[in-house]
Structure 1
Amino acid sequence: MKQFGLIGRNISYSFSKGYFADKFKNENIVGSAYDVFDLQQIQEVEKVFEIEGLKGFNVTIPYKQKIISYLDNLSPEAKEIGAVNTVLIQDGKKIGHNTDCFGFETSLQPLLKSNHTKALVLGYGGAAKAIIYVLNKLGIEFQIVSREKSYNRITYDDLNEAIIKTHHLIINCSPIGTFPNITSAPNIPYEFLTSDHLLYDLIYNPEVTQFIQNGLDKGATIKNGFEMLIQQAEKSWEIWNKVL
């Protein structure tokens, strides 16, 4: 049995197990299983590595950066991004990849318009690093917004009308608004949004987050993280199948 799975913390809600179960059934893929490995500490990944038949696994919050020290190699994208969401086990080596960047770029590009030249990136975790990689690739200027100010980041309190009106792409990379905290949203001045804005939320549960609803109320274009999730999952499967 070829074993795959997902590591993260408090991830019983995860989409991935059901997605791959359906994929295996619909595509008549036999001899493969996908399970959720809920780890309270990253050190517990050592037990995952001991699972018989393990060929690879996905990585989610909060381990996309912490997993790197447990790996033997990184793909060029994962190395540049500094975060891993897919691990391939090949010839005894643990190789980190990042398919979030592929999923995000694939789902974002059809929505981009000529005015989407500047972006606000809300949050600065492992997911945000993949988004920044794509924005750099597409030539879109960006400003990181986080709870703590640093040389390259502003805080939510720094946001004002001028910033919102000159950054027409706003991407929520934080977990704020994820089920069950569905009434929460990143603290930005939504009153300055217009129909020129594109709001992209990496969250997929709920389908319409409060962040997205606030955008809809102002006539903005919106997108949640579901398509990105599917695209990154399919890219992970493609990577794992290189050695099957």
Structure 2
Amino acid sequence: MNTKKLLVVGNPISHSLSPLIHTYAIKKLGLSGTYTSQKLELDTSKEEFVSFIIKSSLDGLNITVPFKELAFSAVSQAQGIAKDIGAINTIVVKDSKLIGYNTDALGFYECIKKYSFKKALILGAGGSARAISLILRLQGFEVDVSNRSEGKLKDFKEVNTLLFKDLDSKKNYDLVINATSASLQDILPLDKETLKAIFKNSQLAFDLMYKDTKTPFCALASELGIKEKDGKDMLIYQGALAFLKFFDLEDALLEKVVTYMREALL
């Protein structure tokens, strides 16, 4: 059996739990593979990114912030929903071609589908925000996307977009999603008073980032008695979906992989 060489790239990356959960699932399923992490420089070009993958003899990789849009530009072809999102978080190397997927969208939806939510606010406008915006819209949600600056908001065509400074703190959102990387710097994505007012009219605060302790975003929601969830569940679901791609496994094995990845975090 060929040993798969897999890794996750990002910046920062030292906090990533992906090597832990993937390595555990590989072992439990009796597969042959290694999964590590690699920090890339923030100014990595498309050419440097592709060269790194080929020279490292990788069979596949996961991509986290802030390289998901770079990955989309670098792949030989994008599959499925990734084509509409314009961001890639999973690459499988096949016959020297880079095949790109987005498992963030479905991975996120798996985490919230049990709720009867219909209105969502997404803070941030990067690749993860695009994935979540699309999957929620496909599921019939009313979606607002807000960002500090206008630049990336132009990528959101079929949802309402607004700047942080224009947020209406009196508007009701069932779900408030932090798709910025602010929590990795241990800060809130926007000013505390505005966020508190938004939380008070919401039911669930979901931070795509995660830490050993509560992120500032989740901690604030918790203080206000609002249910909160960090990015570990999404990490597991998007990771399990990527895992099936890496090892060419049947979809029926998804829940088994999810179970093993959960075990890895216990």
* Shorter-chain TM-score tier: 0.7 to 0.9
Which string of whole-angstrom CA distances, capped at 9 and with x for unpartnered residues, describes residues 15-44 of structure 1? 1112222222333323x1112122111443
1:141 is matched with 142
Amino acid in structure 2 at the alignment position of 1:147:
R
2:263 is matched with none
Match of 1:13 among 11, 15, 20: 15
Mapped to 2, the partners of 1:193 and 1:234 lie a distance apart of: 30
Mapping of residues 56-205 of structure 1, within 5 Å: 56-110=60-114, 112-113=115-116, 116-149=117-150, 152-163=160-171, 166-178=172-184, 181-187=185-191, 188-194=194-200, 196-205=202-211
CA contact (8 A) 2:173 2:201 kept: no
Mapped to 1, the partners of 2:80 and 2:198 lie a distance apart of: 39
1:47 is matched with 52
Q: 1:135 to 1:224 in 2, by over 3 A?
A: same
Q: Which runs of 5+ in 1 are unaligned?
A: none
1:215 is matched with 221
Mapped to 2, the partners of 1:199 and 1:169 lie a distance apart of: 6
1:24 is matched with 26
Mapped to 1, the partners of 2:127 and 2:102 lie a distance apart of: 10
Amino acid in structure 2 at the alignment position of 1:159:
L
Mapped to 2, the partners of 1:134 and 1:225 lie a distance apart of: 17
Structure 2 length-normalised TM: 0.81
The residue matched to 1:200 in structure 2 has which SS? strand
Match of 1:234 among 234, 237, 240: 240
56-65 or 234-243, which moves further after superposition? Answer: 234-243
Amino acid in structure 1 at the alignment position of 2:102:
N
Structure 1 length-normalised TM: 0.88
Q: Which runs of 5+ in 2 are unaligned?
A: 155-159, 250-266
Mapped to 2, the partners of 1:60 and 1:184 lie a distance apart of: 20
Mapped to 2, the partners of 1:183 and 1:121 lie a distance apart of: 17
58-67 or 142-151, which moves further after superposition? Answer: 142-151
Count of residue correspondences: 234
Return the offset for 1:207.
4.3
Mapped to 2, the partners of 1:117 and 1:35 lie a distance apart of: 38
Return the offset for 1:192.
4.9
CA contact (8 A) 2:204 2:228 kept: yes
The residue matched to 1:161 in structure 2 has which SS? coil
